[in-house]
Each structure stands twice: as C-alpha cells, then as structure tokens.
Amino acid sequence: MACIMDGNGRWAQQRGLERTEGHSAGEAAITATVQAAHDMGIKWLTLFAFSTENWRRPQPEVDYLMRFNQRVIRNNAPRWRSMGMRMRYLGALDAPVPDFLREDIMQVEELTAANTGMTLTTAFNHGGRRDLVNAVRSLIGTGITAEDVNEKTLAQHMQLPDLPDVDLLIRTSGEHRLSNFLLWQMAYAEMYFSPVLWPDFRAEHLARAVASYHNRQRRYGTASTEALPEQRATTPLTLH
C-alpha cells in the first residue's frame, strides 16, 4: 500500500494558519495511518513525504519540512522499532538534503534493518522518473546486451529492488494524479482518492480505502470476470 499525503497547505489555509501549521498537524495522520496499517496486518506501506519537485517551494517551507521530517523520526521511530517495523527511505540522500536529516535517516535504517514486521518506506527526495533513469543507468553499467534487457533485469536495478508492486494507492485531498510517485511499482495499482485533507485522515478513512480495494476485481488485463486464484492469494492487504 502507498499513500500520497496531500492537503496540508489547504487544511492550514482554511483555518487562517501558515502552511507549516498544516504540515505539523499532518504528523497525527502519519502516526494514525502507520498504526492502523500495522494493526490491519499490512506488510508494506510507503508514504510520500517529499518529492524532487518540492525543492521548488519557498525556502522557509522547505527548511521547515526538513526539520519536520527529522521530528517525525525522533518522535516515532523508537515506538515503531519496538513494534518490529523495518524503516527505509526511497530517494536520494545527497545534497541538498541537510546533514542532520541524512544522519537520522541512515541511523534509523540501520537500527531497524533486521526487523521482520511491517516495512515502512518513506519516499523522501523521491521522483519516479528519476528512479527509472537511475535504474537504466545502473543496468547499462553492467554491460548487458539489449536482447537481455527485460522487466525483471530492470527491476533488479531499482533503488529498492524488493519493494513490491503497489496494490492500493491512497491519495488524500481529492486530487487525482500520481505526482511522479512510484511510477514503476504503480503499473497495476488500484487507486483510491479521498476528499479528506491529510491532517484529518485517520484509521477509519484507511479502513474505507482498504474495504474499497477488497470489493474491486483485479484482472491484470484479462477478460475474465473472476480474478485469477494466484492474484487473489498474493495480495498483502488483509484485515484481521
């Protein structure tokens, strides 16, 4: 499952607050969503925290978001670690990501690397197109011939090769677009667009999205009205 956490700025504007107040309020939605996903037995959750395009925002907001992401780690990582979660980051950690945030990210990845519970991936300084370009460059660097290039060989050169395809994408705030998020992994994702602004998103909203997913028929290009048994059996979205 993947989530585009959208609507923080509009949430703040509706209340006459600075945009940064919306980001701050979004932390409660993050913790609620992670906890609910864990309780539902979801094994893979990816949150879109900061895109390659977000660097174009006003510098004070960008600076705030760097500190905000550090705050989320320090406030929540110890509890998530104790719950057996593995925490990873998808995206480039080179400049202009500040040193203080890079160090915290690398530390939490190292401390939770051996955990076998839910994998919580944060897409930070992430761009789907850039990921594909980097994967192609890496693949070319192996000296592979054109005839040997296929989906499997390219997938092996993605930044996180074990990150599974997305079964369910949730985007809040009523927007209907991918925003350059997990383009390779999103090929057959079911999409759920919620009108709820991200700071107001809670466990009950997640449950509605998952229930909608379970009521859909996934045919993967086939004409059958019944999903193939192996497709039903492999879905990681299970409610307990």
H-only helix segments in 84-220:
99-112, 128-141, 151-155, 203-214
6 is catalytic: yes
Segment 59-74 shows an average pLDDT of 98
Helix or strand holding residue 62 (H, E): helix 59-82
For residue 221, pLDDT beyond 90: no
Annotated active-site residue 63? The verdict is no
- DSSP bridge pairs for 51: 126
CATH number belonging to the domain at 2-216+224-234, selected among 3.40.50.10950, 1.10.10.60, 3.40.1180.10, 3.30.200.20: 3.40.1180.10
* Tens-digit pLDDT profile for residues 162-184: 999 999 999 999 999 999 999 99
pLDDT bin (cut points 50, 70, 90) of residue 222 is confident
Say whether the peptide bond before residue 58 is cis (omega within 30 degrees of 0).
no
Could you tell me if 4 and 124 are in contact, meaning their C-beta atoms sit under 8 angstroms apart? no
Question: Which of the residues 54, 115, 134, 180 is marked catalytic?
Answer: 54
**Structure token digits, residue 122:** 């944060």
pLDDT at 226: 53
Give the global pTM. 0.92
32 burial level (CB within 10 Å; 0-12, 13-18, 19+): middle
